[in-house]
Amino acid sequence: MQSQSIKFPTSPGPDYNAFIERVNKIKDDRLVEAIPNSLLVPKLWRGLLGFAVSYALYAGSIVGVAYAPHWLLWIPLWILAGLGGWGLHCIAHDCGHNSFSRFKRLNVVVGHLALLPLVYPFFAWKHAHNLHHLHTNSLEMDTDWRPLSRAVYQRLSPWDRLVYKGTRSWAFWAGTINYWVVSGIRPSFFPKKSMRTQAWLSIAFVATAIVVYLAVLGHFTGWVGILLYFILPWLATHAWFSATTLMHHTTDELPFLASSDWSPNASRLLVTTDYLYPKWLLFLTHNISIHTAHHVLPIVPFYNLPKAQEALKKTYPGMLREKKFRFSILWKIIRSCHFYDDKTGYYISHSASEGGYLADEAPAEPARD
């Protein structure tokens, strides 16, 4: 928690103050009214098509590794396998928000199957992700990529400092692996007993499925096969997962907001960067980069997000942030977006930060039942 006696940021500049003016301008709006109700209706066939395409890309790429005529082809095939695994995560994403279909049990089944390549227990992911939606870019409460001040970083253990610094820079691709360790396989992360119970059920399912799969894979291909056909595609999927989610809400052009300035509407409309992908990549990632509309109304199915986004842009001109995707943007983020600057409220780099006041290094958790 931030100190009761200090308001962050301590020395906000004109950019921060202008941003807060935008926050206050939409504070009491009903953002969801900008999106037509017709866009909320899921089409089961369309969701199943996305599921099938991503599983085919994932499995087909792994088969390609097995039969590739030269090992130099393995790297692009692992990248494609990771894209397929990431696409499956995006399908599970809809399942978690019940926008995949009208049938909640089917959403749970498909969600569990879609997250198997990531070894991610569906309910654990769902509950952690919903906490992110409730607290997006909240300095005290967000569960995804929440920055620390350098003063807090310096109080961490050596291992935690290595993890934080690495996943914000050279090891950014492992950021969601750390997220998986913290919340995906640790039911105690969740505040409610019902969440913890569901997380355990998902963990039991994933553990059983993966043990059986690895036993069969190991029997026929040995340890080399487990590395080539499971571990490296898993790492590639996490690289897609990490890069995409890091870029959604991380930039030195937008602040993280302390509780005194944060509002639900700001978290939904103003703190996301939407990246314009090529059409083929939008198709294979199920429009995950069209992310502001998703934050405004998570029950919009992925194939309706472009229309929902256009409706938001029409109602709130100039409010949404859209950029053409470039690798140079990702490079800038991992080079300069490391710590929360408690003076300005924005990201600064490792070298620029000189310390600060922020007092809590862990995401706040509600009281447990």
Query: Percentage of residues in the chain with pLDDT exceeding 70?
Result: 94
For residue 147, whether the previous peptide bond is cis, meaning omega lies within 30 degrees of 0, is no
The low-confidence residues of the chain, meaning pLDDT below 50, are 1-5, 355-369
Per the structure, the count of domains in the chain is: 1
Look at residue 227 in the predicted model and tell me its pLDDT.
98
Instruction: Give a yes or no: residue 357 inside a domain.
Output: no
Query: Would residue 332 be called left, alpha or beta, if left means φ above 0 and alpha means ψ between -120 and 50 degrees?
Result: alpha
Look at residue 7 in the predicted model and tell me its pLDDT.
83
Look at residue 353 in the predicted model and tell me its pLDDT.
52
Instruction: Give a yes or no: residue 1 inside a domain.
Output: no
Instruction: Give a yes or no: residue 31 inside a domain.
Output: yes
| Cα 175 to the center of its chain, rounded Å | 10
Alpha-carbon distance of 150 to 165, in angstroms, equals 11
Q: What sign has the CA pseudo-torsion 4, 138, 23, 346?
A: positive
Closest Cα partner for 356 from 20, 16, 6, 15? 6
Instruction: Give a yes or no: residue 207 inside a domain.
Output: yes
Look at residue 351 in the predicted model and tell me its pLDDT.
80
Instruction: Give a yes or no: residue 5 inside a domain.
Output: no
Closest Cα partner for 153 from 336, 11, 340? 340
Query: Would residue 318 be called left, alpha or beta, if left means φ above 0 and alpha means ψ between -120 and 50 degrees?
Result: left
Look at residue 356 in the predicted model and tell me its pLDDT.
46
Beta-carbon neighbour count of residue 28 at 10 Å?
8
Half-sphere exposure of 85 (CA within 13 A, CB side): 28
Q: Which domain holds residue 122?
A: 14-348
Identify the helix (H) or strand (E) that includes residue 177: helix 175-179
Asked whether 117 and 88 are in contact (CB, 8 A), the reply is: yes
How do residues 320-351 score in pLDDT, each as one tens digit? 999 999 999 999 999 999 999 999 999 999 88
Instruction: Give a yes or no: residue 7 inside a domain.
Output: no
How do residues 261-291 score in pLDDT, each as one tens digit? 999 999 999 999 999 999 999 999 999 999 9
List the structure tokens of 363. Answer: 């995401």
